[in-house]
C-alpha cells in the first residue's frame, strides 16, 4: 500500500528554449571567444553576452561566476542606453536568481524591471512574453497555480515561438493540481510540436514528466515506457539539466511497476544530483519520491525520515516571508505601471519611479517590521503562557508538600498525647489536648497559604514549643530570638519551614539524655536573606539511632520545598545542617529570600 | 444567674460543666441536648448567658436563634471547625469558643459575659450574623465594637480603612470617620474576600471605590482621596482590579 503524501509530482519547467546539447560546448566556446574580441559597448556584444549567459546557465546552473557576468552585461547595456540589452540582462539576472540561487523574490524583482522596460518601448513588447513565462514559472514553483496558469496562457495565446514551452508548462501546472488527464493531453500536444525535435533536452524533460503523469494515472507500463524514452535521450546526449528530475520520475514509474531495485537506484541518484546543484525545489521533490518509495518498500523508518526532510524543505521554500515579499513586488509593479502610463515625460517618470520605489521600500520595510513585531509579541505571549503553566505546576507541588506536613505532624502529636495521658492527670491532659487542637488549627490554616507573615509563623513555633515543653517537663528550655530590626508582621515566609527541625531536636536530641536540653530559635537578616536557625545542645545527628540510616521525612519535605521555591522565584534558598562537635548538638540554618508584604 | 448550654454531645457538655465548676456558687446551669429543647427552654428560663453549639443533630445553633423570641442574654457560640461560621461570628462581633475549649479562652469569654457587654445590641448583631450565614446575596453588614457599644456598617458603604498603630480609622460613603480599636490586619483578614484590598501597610481600600490608578503608584478613590500603593503590592493590586 502506498502512502499518499499529497505531493509526488516532479516537474522541471523550462520556459526558454535550449540548444542541442551536442553543439552546446562548442557554441559556448565560440561565444566566449567572440565576446572577448568584439568592442565592449557594441550592441552585438551585449546580445552575445546575453545569449551566452542563458546557455551557460543551463549548462551549469551552479556556476558562481554567472551573477557577476550578468551584472556586467547590465552595466554595459545601460552604459550604451541599449534598452533591449538592458531588458534581456534583467531577464538573465532573474534566471540566475531563480535557478542558481533559488531566490524567487530577487528573480521576480528583475523580471518586473524587465517588464517595465517592455511597457515603455512598444518595439520591445514581444520580449515581454519570455518574462511572463519566467514569472509563471516562479509562481508555479511557489505552488500558486492559478497565477502561474494565467501567465502561461497569456504566453500561449500571444507568442507562437514560445508556444511549446507554454504548452509544456500548462501541462506542468495541471499535473501539479492533479488534473492528470489534462496534463497528459498538454504533454502530448507539446511532444507533437515540431520544435521539440530540435531540442532534445526539452524532449527528454517532456517524456520524463509524461511518465510521471502516467504513473499518477495508474498506467504503469506507459509510465515506464515514457521514462525509458527520457532516460535514453539523457544518456545518449549527456543531458545533465534534466537528469535529476528524470531520474526521480523514472524511479516513480519503476516503483509503480514494482521494480523496486531500479526505483531506489534512480531516486538516490536524483537526490545526489539535486543536492550537488543546491536546488531546494528539486531536493524537496527527490525526498518526496524517496518517502513514497520507502513506504512502498514498507521501510517506514526511512520513509518517515524522508518525509521529514521533504517537509522541512517545503517549509523553507514556501515560508511566509517570501510569499509576502512576492506579493509586495507584484503590488509595487502594478502601482509603478499605473503611474508610468499617466505621466508623459520619461524624466519625470524616472523621478516618480524612484519615489514609488522608495514608498514601496518603506511599505515593504513596514510590513517586515510589522511581521517581526507581531512574531515577537506572539513569542512573548507564548512564553508568558508557559511560565504561568509552570508556576501553576510548582504551586500545586508546593501545596502537596505543605499538606504532607499535616499527617506527619498529626501522628507525631498523637504520640505525644498518648505519652501525656500515660504520665499525667486527666484535667491537664484536657488542657494539653485543647492546646494541641489550637496547634492543629494553625497548621491547617497556615499550610493553606504559600506565604504567611513571620509573626504568624513565630506564633505557631512558640505554641508548638510550649506544647512540647508541657509534655516533657524539665527536659528542655527554649528561647526565640528575633532580630529587633525585623518587622515580623510585614515579612513573609513559607509556612512551617522550621517545624520539622524543632521536632527533630526535641524528639531525637534530648529524649535519651539526662542533661537539660536547650533550643534556640533565631531569626535574622543577612543581606537579602532571612536566616532561620534552630540550634540545640542535643546529642547530635551522628548519635541518634533513629536518624542514622535515613533522612527524616520532615527534612526531605523541607528540602523539596526549598528546591521548588528556588525554581519558582529564581532564588537561592538554602538548607544547612551543621553537626557541632560530637555531643554538642546540631545547628540547622534555613535561608530564604527576604520577602515583605509591603 | 442562669447559664444555658446547648450541645448535643455529652462530652462537650461535661467539659463545659467542668470549666464552670469554679462559679458554682454564682450560676445555675441548664443543659439542652437538642435544638427543639433549647427553643422551648430558653424562652422559658430566660438565661443570662447562652453557650450555643453550631452543629446540632440535623439543625444548627442559628436555627435555635431564629426560633426564640427572648434575646436578652450574652451569647457565646461553641464550634469545632466550621470556618464559614467563624467568619460570620467575626463579622457580627459575636463571641465564640473553639472546641476542645482552652480554659484561658473560656475565662476570657465568661468574664466578658458576666459584665453583660455581650448583651448589647444582640438582636442587631444577630441580624448581621444571619445575613452572613444565609446564601442570599443581601447587602452584608459588619458589627464592630465601638464607644462602649456597637457600630453597624454596610460593607459596601465603607470606602477605606487606615491604620493608626493598634487602632483603625474607617471612612464611609457618608463622609464619616470612625476610629475603632482593631488593627488593620484584623479587617484585612476579614474583608479581603469582600472586595477589599490592602494597598499599603496603612491602607485597606474597597476596590469598588477605585476611581483611577496612575502607574507612578497612586490610586485615587471616588471620594477624591489619593493613596500610595506599595511597590510590592502593585502587581497584585492590578490583578485584583482586573478581576473585579
Which uninterrupted H or E stretch holds B211?
Answer: strand B210-214
Indicate the SS3 state at residue B218: strand
In this structure, the strands spanning A574-579 and A586-593 are antiparallel
pLDDT at A549: 44
Which uninterrupted H or E stretch holds A574?
Answer: strand A574-579
Please list every residue in chain B whose beta carbon sits closer than 8 Å to the beta carbon of residue A431: 102-103
Ranges of chain A whose pLDDT falls below 70: 1-41, 319-332, 334-346, 349, 400, 402-409, 424, 511-513, 542-551
Please list every residue in chain A whose beta carbon sits closer than 8 Å to the beta carbon of residue B103: 431, 434
State the DSSP code for A160: G
The C-alpha torsion from A387 through A388 and A390 to A391, rounded to 10°, is: 120
A489 with B101: Cβ contact below 8 A: no
List of residues 6+ apart from A502 with CB closer than 8 A: A461, A464, A465, A519, A521, A534
Distance, CA of B113 to CA of A582 (rounded, Å): 56
Which uninterrupted H or E stretch holds A416?
Answer: helix A346-423
Please list every residue in chain B whose beta carbon sits closer than 8 Å to the beta carbon of residue A410: none
Average pLDDT over residues B210-218: 88
By C-alpha distance, the chain A residue nearest B203 is A598
Q: Which among B98, B232, B233 has the least Cβ separation from residue A441?
A: B98
Please determine, for residue B19, whether its predicted confidence score (pLDDT) is greater than 90. yes
Closest-CA distance, A330 to chain B, in angstroms, reads: 46
Indicate the SS3 state at residue B129: helix
Q: How many CB atoms lie within 10 A of CB A67?
A: 16
HEC profile for A441-468?
HHHHHHHHCCCEEHHHHHHHHHHHHHHH
List of residues 6+ apart from B176 with CB closer than 8 A: none
Does A441 reach chain B within 8 Å, measured CB to CB? yes
Interface of A with B in 186-245 (CB under 8 A): none
pLDDT at A343: 56
Give the closest residue to A264 by CA, choosing from A230, A295, A232: A295
Give the closest residue to A523 by CA, choosing from A492, A554, A552: A492
Please list every residue in chain B whose beta carbon sits closer than 8 Å to the beta carbon of residue A597: 198, 201, 232-233
In this structure, the strands spanning B203-206 and B158-164 are antiparallel
A596 with B18: Cβ contact below 8 A: no
Closest-CA distance, A430 to chain B, in angstroms, reads: 8
Q: What are phi and psi of B213, to 5 degrees?
A: -140, 125
Residue A168, Cβ density class (10 Å: 0-12 exposed, 13-18 middle, ≥19 buried): buried
Please list every residue in chain B whose beta carbon sits closer than 8 Å to the beta carbon of residue A437: 98-100
Half-sphere exposure of A408 (CA within 13 A, CB side): 19
The C-alpha torsion from A266 through A270 and A276 to A281, rounded to 10°, is: -170
Indicate the SS3 state at residue B111: helix
Distance, CA of B5 to CA of B76 (rounded, Å): 10
Peptide bond into A95 cis (omega under 30): no
> How many residues comprise chain A?
598
Long-range contacts of A422-429 (CB under 8 A, 24+ apart): A427/B18
Query: Which residue(s) pair with B149 in the sheet?
Result: B146
Distance, CA of A304 to CA of A108 (rounded, Å): 34
Closest-CA distance, A574 to chain B, in angstroms, reads: 24
Q: How many CB pairs under 8 A join A and B?
A: 31
HEC profile for B142-208?
EEEEECCEEEEEEHHHEEEEEEECCEEEEEECCCCEEEECCCHHHHHHHHCCCCEEEEECCEEEEHH
Query: Which residue(s) pair with B160 in the sheet?
Result: B171, B205
Distance, CA of B40 to CA of A3 (rounded, Å): 85
Distance, CA of A401 to CA of A557 (rounded, Å): 6
Give the closest residue to A405 by CA, choosing from A563, A567, A558: A558
Does A433 reach chain B within 8 Å, measured CB to CB? yes
Does A435 reach chain B within 8 Å, measured CB to CB? yes
Q: Which among A434, A489, A596 has the least Cβ separation from residue B101?
A: A434
State the DSSP code for B230: P
Question: Chain B interface residues facing chain A, Cβ-Cβ under 8 Å?
Answer: 15, 18, 81, 98-103, 185, 198, 200-201, 230, 232-233
Closest-CA distance, B97 to chain A, in angstroms, reads: 11
Higher pLDDT, A412 or B8: B8
In this structure, the strands spanning A595-596 and A491-493 are antiparallel
Please list every residue in chain A whose beta carbon sits closer than 8 Å to the beta carbon of residue B100: 430, 433-434, 437
pLDDT at A548: 47
For residues B6 and B61, the answer to whether their CB atoms sit within 8 Å is yes
C-alpha cell read off for B242: 482586573
C-alpha A230, offset from chain centre = 39
Q: Which among B15, B99, B201 has the least Cβ separation from residue A598?
A: B201
A430 with B233: Cβ contact below 8 A: no
pLDDT at A37: 66
B201 with A490: Cβ contact below 8 A: yes
Q: How far is the first Cα of chain B from the last one, in angstroms, to the nearest whole number? A: 51
By C-alpha distance, the chain A residue nearest B11 is A430
pLDDT at B163: 94
Distance, CA of A376 to CA of B222 (rounded, Å): 39
State the DSSP code for A197: G
Distance, CA of A182 to CA of A169 (rounded, Å): 12
pLDDT at B203: 96
For residues A547 and A508, the answer to whether their CB atoms sit within 8 Å is yes
Please list every residue in chain A whose beta carbon sits closer than 8 Å to the beta carbon of residue B201: 490, 597-598
Tens of pLDDT, residues B115-174: 876 677 888 898 898 888 887 666 789 999 888 889 999 999 999 999 998 899 999 999
**ipTM for the predicted complex:** 0.82
Indicate the SS3 state at residue A530: strand
Distance, CA of A367 to CA of B95 (rounded, Å): 69
> How many residues comprise chain B?
244
Please list every residue in chain B whose beta carbon sits closer than 8 Å to the beta carbon of residue A435: 102
Q: Return the residue matching grid coordinates 514551452.
A: A165
Give the closest residue to A227 by CA, choosing from A240, A238, A214, A241: A214
Number of helical (H) and strand (E) elements in chain A, helices listed first: 22, 8
Closest-CA distance, B96 to chain A, in angstroms, reads: 14
Q: Which among A427, A433, A598 has the least Cβ separation from residue B100?
A: A433
pLDDT at A519: 94
Q: What is the mean pLDDT of chain B?
A: 90
Amino acid at each position: 500500500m502506498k502512502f499518499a503524501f499529497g505531493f509526488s509530482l516532479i516537474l522541471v519547467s523550462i520556459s526558454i528554449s535550449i540548444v542541442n546539447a551536442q553543439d552546446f560546448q562548442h557554441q559556448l566556446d565560440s561565444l566566449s571567444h567572440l565576446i572577448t574580441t568584439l568592442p565592449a559597448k557594441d550592441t552585438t556584444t551585449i546580445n552575445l553576452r546575453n545569449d551566452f549567459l542563458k546557455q551557460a546557465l543551463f549548462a551549469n546552473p551552479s556556476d558562481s561566476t554567472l551573477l557577476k557576468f550578468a551584472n556586467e552585461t547590465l552595466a554595459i547595456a545601460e552604459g550604451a542606453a541599449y534598452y533591449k540589452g538592458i531588458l534581456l540582462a534583467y531577464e538573465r539576472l532573474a534566471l540566475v536568481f531563480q535557478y542558481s540561487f533559488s531566490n524567487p523574490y530577487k528573480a521576480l524583482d528583475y523580471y518586473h524591471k524587465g517588464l517595465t522596460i517592455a511597457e515603455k518601448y512598444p518595439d520591445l513588447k514581444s520580449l515581454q512574453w519570455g518574462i511572463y513565462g519566467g514569472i509563471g514559472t516562479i509562481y508555479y514553483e511557489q505552488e500558486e497555480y492559478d497565477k502561474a496558469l494565467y501567465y502561461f496562457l497569456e504566453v500561449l495565446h500571444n507568442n507562437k515561438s514560445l508556444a511549446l514551452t507554454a504548452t509544456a508548462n500548462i501541462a506542468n501546472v495541471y499535473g501539479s493540481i492533479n488534473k492528470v488527464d489534462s496534463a497528459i493531453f498538454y504533454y502530448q500536444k507539446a511532444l507533437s510540436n515540431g520544435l521539440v525535435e530540435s531540442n532534445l533536452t526539452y524532449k527528454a524533460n517532456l517524456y520524463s514528466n509524461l511518465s510521471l503523469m502516467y504513473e499518477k494515472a495508474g498506467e504503469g507500463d506507459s509510465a515506464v515506457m515514457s521514462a525509458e524514452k527520457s532516460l535514453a535521450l539523457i544518456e545518449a546526449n549527456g543531458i545533465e539539466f534534466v537528469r535529476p528530475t528524470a531520474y526521480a520520475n523514472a524511479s516513480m514509474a519503476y516503483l509503480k511497476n514494482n521494480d523496486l531495485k531500479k526505483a531506489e537506484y534512480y531516486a538516490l541518484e536524483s537526490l545526489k544530483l539535486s543536492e550537488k546543484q543546491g536546488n531546494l525545489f528539486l531536493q524537496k521533490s527527490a525526498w518526496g519520491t524517496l518517502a513514497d518509495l520507502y513506504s512502498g518498500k514498507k521501510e517506514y523508518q526511512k520513509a518517515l525520515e524522508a518525509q521529514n526532510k521533504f517537509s522541512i524543505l517545503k517549509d523553507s521554500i514556501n515560508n511566509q516571508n517570501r510569499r509576502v515579499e512576492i506579493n509586495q513586488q507584484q503590488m509595487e509593479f502594478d502601482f509603478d505601471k499605473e503611474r508610468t502610463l499617466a505621466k508623459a515625460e520619461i524624466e519625470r517618470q524616472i523621478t516618480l519611479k524612484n519615489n514609488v520605489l522608495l514608498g514601496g521600500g518603506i511599505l515593504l520595510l513596514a510590513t517586515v517590521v510589522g511581521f517581526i513585531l507581531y512574531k515577537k509579541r506572539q513569542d512573548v505571549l507564548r512564553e508568558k503562557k508557559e511560565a504561568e503553566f509552570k508556576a501553576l505546576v510548582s504551586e500545586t507541588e508546593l501545596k502537596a508538600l505543605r499538606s504532607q506536613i499535616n499527617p506527619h505532624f498529626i501522628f507525631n502529636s498523637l504520640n505525644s498525647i498518648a505519652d501525656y495521658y500515660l504520665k499525667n492527670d486527666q484535667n491537664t491532659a484536657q488542657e494539653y489536648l485543647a492546646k494541641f487542637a489550637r496547634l492543629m488549627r494553625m497548621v491547617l490554616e497556615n499550610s493553606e497559604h504559600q506565604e504567611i507573615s513571620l509573626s504568624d509563623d513565630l506564633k505557631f513555633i512558640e505554641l508548638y514549643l510550649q506544647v512540647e515543653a508541657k509534655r516533657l517537663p524539665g527536659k528542655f528550655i527554649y528561647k526565640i530570638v528575633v532580630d529587633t530590626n525585623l518587622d515580623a508582621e510585614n515579612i513573609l515566609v513559607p509556612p512551617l519551614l522550621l517545624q520539622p527541625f524543632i521536632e527533630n531536636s526535641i524528639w531525637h536530641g534530648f529524649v535519651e539524655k539526662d542533661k537539660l536540653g536547650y533550643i534556640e530559635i533565631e531569626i535574622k537578616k543577612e543581606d537579602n536573606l532571612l536566616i532561620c536557625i534552630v540550634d540545640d545542645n542535643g546529642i547530635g545527628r551522628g548519635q541518634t539511632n533513629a536518624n542514622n540510616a535515613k533522612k527524616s521525612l520532615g527534612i526531605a519535605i523541607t528540602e523539596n520545598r526549598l528546591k521548588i521555591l528556588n525554581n519558582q522565584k529564581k532564588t537561592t534558598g538554602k538548607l544547612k545542617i551543621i553537626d557541632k562537635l560530637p555531643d554538642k548538638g546540631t545547628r540547622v540554618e534555613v535561608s530564604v529570600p527576604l520577602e515583605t508584604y509591603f | 444567674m442562669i447559664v444555658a448550654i446547648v450541645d448535643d454531645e455529652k462530652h462537650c457538655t461535661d467539659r463545659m460543666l467542668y470549666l464552670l465548676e469554679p462559679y458554682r456558687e454564682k450560676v445555675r446551669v441548664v443543659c439542652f441536648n437538642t435544638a427543639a429543647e433549647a427553643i422551648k427552654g430558653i424562652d422559658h428560663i430566660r438565661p443570662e448567658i447562652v453557650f450555643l453549639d453550631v452543629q446540632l443533630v440535623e439543625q444548627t445553633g442559628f436555627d435555635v436563634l431564629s426560633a426564640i423570641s427572648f434575646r436578652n442574654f450574652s451569647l457565646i457560640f461553641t464550634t469545632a471547625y466550621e470556618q464559614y461560621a467563624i467568619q460570620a461570628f467575626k463579622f457580627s462581633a459575636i463571641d465564640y469558643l473553639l472546641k476542645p475549649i482552652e480554659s484561658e479562652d473560656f475565662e476570657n469569654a465568661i468574664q466578658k459575659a458576666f459584665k453583660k457587654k455581650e448583651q448589647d445590641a444582640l438582636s442587631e448583631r444577630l441580624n448581621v450574623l444571619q445575613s452572613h450565614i444565609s446564601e442570599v446575596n443581601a447587602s452584608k453588614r459588619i458589627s464592630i465594637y465601638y464607644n462602649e457599644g456597637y457600630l453597624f456598617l454596610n460593607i459596601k458603604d465603607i470606602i477605606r480603612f487606615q491604620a493608626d498603630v493598634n487602632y483603625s480609622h474607617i471612612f464611609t460613603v457618608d463622609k464619616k470617620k470612625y476610629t475603632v480599636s482593631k488593627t488593620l490586619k484584623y479587617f484585612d483578614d476579614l474583608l479581603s474576600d469582600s472586595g477589599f484590598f490592602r494597598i499599603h501597610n496603612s491602607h485597606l481600600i474597597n476596590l469598588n471605590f477605585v476611581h483611577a490608578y496612575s502607574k507612578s503608584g497612586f490610586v485615587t478613590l471616588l471620594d477624591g482621596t489619593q493613596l500610595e500603593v506599595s511597590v510590592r503590592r502593585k502587581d497584585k493590586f492590578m490583578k485584583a482590579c482586573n478581576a473585579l
